[in-house]
Amino acid sequence: MKTQVLVTGANGQLAKTLRDRYIKNNLALDFLFVSKAELDITNKAQLKDLFNHHHFDYCINCAAYTAVDKAESDNETAYSVNVNGSKYLAEVCQLHQTTLIHISTDFVFDGTSKFPYKETDTTKPLSVYGITKLKGEQAIIKNLEKYFIIRTSWLYSEYGHNFMKTMLRLAQEKDQLHVVSDQIGTPTYTGDLIEVIFKLIISRNENYGIYHFSNSGETNWFDFAKAIFEYSHIKTELKPIPTEAYPTSAKRPQYSVLDTTKIKSTLDICIPNWKDTLKVVLSNRLN
């Protein structure tokens, strides 16, 4: 019998990448993709009804409130989705012995570290988004035994809204762009994250807990944009600016590189450098 996998948040970039990879890889897994319209994770009755009518070995939670700046003024909705939704999922997964794979974020840290963040490092989010994602993690840990919480950073893909797509669009509209150069992190391709999730499921790994995953290496937003333009042969001029010159509603961590030692050793994997992956993604996009 095939492993049954539920994927929430089906219209987001991560779930869309997952669907794409699943079709291409022809995996021995059965996926049910549900959008918010089909399953609202903040509605416990809906969750209970779905789990009562279907058996799921795994649930990959791609549903989240990710509008970082909007969350500052819309904190009730952010809390409802990121905290209550995570709690309800954890409770129903516990009841049905379903393993939850939950996607979290580097925004649970304050960015004051000088070294890549380990899973055991102290969390101190600076924004409503970061606070709600951390509380969502805590709700899962409190209510569920079998879970993988994967913190990741600077996600981009061919789908949805992300930095890579925004830069490519703006390059068509403007001759010059200003990009923040003093926030350090690691761009992470959704396809590389999906491969790790597949490996967790296929290997039936039971080393539950919190994990960090990003591509290897580190950069800043300006150099990330520079690489996007270089690999896409775009001539739009880029100018570096400090964070203060681009004020946002939510405060971002200045440094949010994640230490991926734990997931590499647990799954015995090599993680590609962000530049190598970006080259491939943009090359495929151009061809």
- The whole-angstrom separation of Cα 27 and Cα 190 is 18
Q: Is 129 a catalytic residue?
A: yes
| CA neighbor of 7 nearest in space, from 87, 82, 102 | 102
| CA neighbor of 225 nearest in space, from 181, 161, 283 | 181
- The whole-angstrom separation of Cα 270 and Cα 266 is 11
Instruction: Kindly state the helix (H) or strand (E) to which residue 273 belongs, with its residue range.
Output: none
CB 98 within 8 A of CB 51: yes
CB 252 within 8 A of CB 127: yes
CA distances for 147 relative to 43, 67, 140, angstroms: 21, 25, 8
Q: Looking at residue 150, what DSSP letter applies?
A: E
Catalytic-role residue among 65, 117, 129, 211: 129
CB 163 within 8 A of CB 281: no
CB 33 within 8 A of CB 7: yes
C-alpha radius of gyration, the chain, whole number? 19
- The whole-angstrom separation of Cα 67 and Cα 43 is 20
Specify burial of residue 124 (Cβ count, 10 A radius: 0-12, 13-18, 19+). middle
- The whole-angstrom separation of Cα 157 and Cα 209 is 26
| CA neighbor of 191 nearest in space, from 4, 73, 16 | 16
Just list the catalytic residues: 129
